[in-house]
Amino acid sequence: MSNRVLLVTGGAGFIGSNFVRYWLDRCPNDRVVVLDALTYAGNPANFAMLSDNPRFRFYAGRIEDSTVVNGIFRVEGITHVVNFAAESHNDRSMLEPTRLIATNVAGVSVLMEAAKAFGSERVVHVSTDEVYGEIQTGKFKETDPLLPRQPYSAGKAGGEMQVRAHNIAYGVPTVVTRGCNTFGPYQFPEKLIPFFITRAFQDKKVPVYGDGQQIRDWIHVLDHCEGIAIALENGTIGEAYNIGGIVERPNIDITKIILQTLGKGEELIKYIPDPRGKGHDQRYAVDSTKIAAIGWAPKHDFDTHLIETIHWYVNNRAWWQPILDSSDYQTFVNRYYGPGLGSDL
């Protein structure tokens, strides 16, 4: 297939910007148009290397703004949509649970309306394994109920319901992906791995929630991008696909690997009462048999690429230091973790 024009919403964020670079390499006949609101998490530096690429175009704007969205569909001749745009941070969602609804639910509906009006060939909505809630043993399958337990995951589940309704009611050709915890370069440094790397690098304490035994299912960003690409090309319309199930690790183990790789001692660990409270999911795990059946297989081994990611942050301080210096970032850290940790900034 060739000459597709992809609208990648949220393409200035972590996974979105990795996906844009990945797609332009993978499909040399396609064009990619990014729409991103450039919130605190959106960073034009994530695609600065594409500024001269004639197959790439960027628009600043919000997905819930139908005038902007419809204008882009019309002017650019969008054929496919991949929606990454979201308020994506669980911890921020605990502070402002209502704020995310505009993007994570209403914005999804606006995008679906545009896809319907302009006859999109395929729309991939990037969701998360967190919509299932927690699981003590076993792995979630796509047929399991969505039982989110945090404002962020509830918002993502709400977005999925918009997608489902537009597929069933209007025949919008949608596919949903539910990826697990993702790591790699260009991740905003408030998420666990880059937060801990950048803090430990500066000899600042790393806040471990509770006993640190929460288990996450981890995937490298390029494996996640490939899963999304395969869902776009081979996924069955109206279906959802888990992407993950590669490696499970407790947060405390990851913390120790980061400290060890940076040559830091465990005295930097600061155990704190869990700020996510009772809704903090103990374990996530997904079964990826369904996406494997349409061609997905992870290629990035966790341990090697975690260390590679740590080195990326060490070597790219010019990328993350301005973020750490920003007042938005410092306000969030102080507000969420309190002056005890915040004063370490």
Q: Which residues bind ligand NAD (CB under 6 A)?
A: 9-10, 12-16, 35-39, 41-42, 62-64, 84-88, 103, 107, 126, 128, 156, 179, 181-182, 188
- The DSSP 8-state label assigned to residue 150 in this structure reads S
274-289 core/surface letters (b: 16 or more CB in 10 A; e: else): eebeebbbebbbbbbe
Q: How far is CA 27 from the centre of its chain?
A: 22
Question: Which residue of this chain has its Cβ atom nearest to ligand NAD in the complex?
Answer: 13
We find the least distance from the C-beta atom of residue 339 to ligand NAD, in angstroms, to be 26
Radius of gyration of the chain (CA): 19
Which residue number, 21 or 62, has a Cβ lying nearer to ligand NAD? 62
The reply to whether 337 belongs to the active site is no
Ramachandran quadrant class, 129 (left: phi over 0; alpha: psi -120 to 50; beta: rest):
alpha
The reply to whether 130 belongs to the active site is yes
Q: Are 84 and 14 in contact (CB under 8 A)?
A: no
Which residue number, 9 or 288, has a Cβ lying nearer to ligand NAD? 9
1 CB burial (10 A radius; 0-12, 13-18, 19+): exposed
Joined tokens for residue 29: 């006949």
The reply to whether 336 belongs to the active site is no
We find the least distance from the C-beta atom of residue 13 to ligand NAD, in angstroms, to be 2
- The DSSP 8-state label assigned to residue 103 in this structure reads I
Active-site residue, from 22, 132, 152, 337: 152
Which residue number, 99 or 204, has a Cβ lying nearer to ligand NAD? 99
Which residue number, 41 or 222, has a Cβ lying nearer to ligand NAD? 41
Active-site residue, from 36, 64, 87, 129: 129
Active-site residue, from 64, 87, 91, 130: 130
What residues are labeled active site? 129-130, 152
